[in-house]
Amino acid sequence: MIIDCHGHYTTAPKALEAWRDQQVASLSGTTAAPSVSSLKISDDELRESIETNQLAKMRERGIDLTIFSPRASFMAHHIGGFDTSATWSSICNELIARVVGLFPGQFIGAAMLPQSPGVDPATCVAEIDRCVEEYGFVAINLSPDPSGGHWTSPPLSDRHWYPVYERMVELDIPAMIHVSTSCNACFHTTGSHYLNADTTAFMQCLTSDLFKDFPTLRFVIPHGGGAVPYHWGRFRGLAQEMKKPSLGEHLLKNIFFDTCVYHQPGIDLLTKVIPVENVLFASEMIGAVRGIDPTTGFAYDDTRRYIEAAALSMDDRHKIFEGNARRVYPRLDAALRARAAA
């Protein structure tokens, strides 16, 4: 089967955005915050938003299952404080759970966290528990920069983040390291902030001994690892100068890269440079780049085509499409086994 480990609910019914707009407007104090119960989205609306979008493309492209999480750019942890983010993430995660309930064979959930700049990440643990235990989610999205482009939190190697890691290890779930909208005019959200965050997160791990403290902690770095595979020689050389172990020993038992790289030469480099065990199939469809590449005639984000065309053995391709995801997301593997046995 083909598992896409990186999909966001970018096509949610407009009522969701309208509710959020009301919530944001209420922060100025001139209007009341909307109640959670005032948001009404029917199953039919959810079904249609998925069937005509993600599911249609999954069928067209032969993708069997997507690990599905709330829209990354809408997380916007920088807006309001913890309560604002807690209510918003709870709503967004519940919608994901409902989508999974409607399409249990095609989607499985990953949680957005109620992060807020300056707030102890320990406050996210309750939502992690709820999403994993009640909704059966198999992963979380963790933002290294809840400020939205001002980078005011400590690096991922700091003890600041340990409460989240401790719970991840207990639950045996990985985190995709994924920022949200940039509110810094220097950074375009999907063109630079996302890629910069990927590179930054990798380097924060490289300079630290985080994975000595958490040998089973697993991070998925999206967007093909930002700049990392392209500069693999640079990172190998920097680790060497810092007297760190080889990157394979130091980081690759814990860090994985997805395949959201939207052209053949990029995927060719990724699959050549990074050990195949560390590459997970993903497309981030429907996401930042939705058009048709005029040089190929196919969608930029139809990444399956690039993996099929890359110089990979059948066995390696299987690892990228399915095997690695089952290993990195054990709760996904367990869910698939339970279904198969049912």
- Measure the CA angle with vertex 77, ends 74 and 78; round to 5°: 115
Q: Which residues does 64 contact at the CB level (< 8 Å), separation at least 6?
A: 1, 2, 3, 58, 106
Nearest to residue 3, comparing CAs of 309, 292, 279, 265? 279
3-class secondary-structure state, position 333: helix
Tell the smallest beta-carbon distance from residue 117 to a second copy (Å).
13
User: Which one of 45, 166, 170, 284 is the catalytic residue?
Assistant: 284
Tell the smallest beta-carbon distance from residue 125 to a second copy (Å).
23
Nearest to residue 5, comparing CAs of 225, 276, 258? 258
Is 308 one of the catalytic residues?
Answer: no
Q: Is 105 exposed, middle or buried (0-12, 13-18, 19+ CB in 10 A)?
A: exposed
Tell the smallest beta-carbon distance from residue 72 to a second copy (Å).
15
Please write down the long-range contacts of 25-32, taking CB distance under 8 Å and 24 or more positions apart. 27/79, 27/80, 27/84
Name the residue nearer to a second copy (CB basis): 172 or 268. Answer: 268
Name the residue nearer to a second copy (CB basis): 104 or 154. Answer: 154
3-class secondary-structure state, position 142: strand
Name the residue nearer to a second copy (CB basis): 133 or 158. Answer: 158
Tell the smallest beta-carbon distance from residue 311 to a second copy (Å).
12
* Residue whose structure tokens are 């640079």: 234
- Residues near a second copy, by CB under 8 A: 144-145, 149-151, 153-155, 184-188, 190-192, 195-196, 199-200, 202-204, 206-207, 223-224, 226-227, 229-238, 240-241, 261-263, 265-266, 268-269, 272-273, 288-291, 293-294, 300-301
Name the residue nearer to a second copy (CB basis): 63 or 206. Answer: 206
**Residues designated as active site:** 284
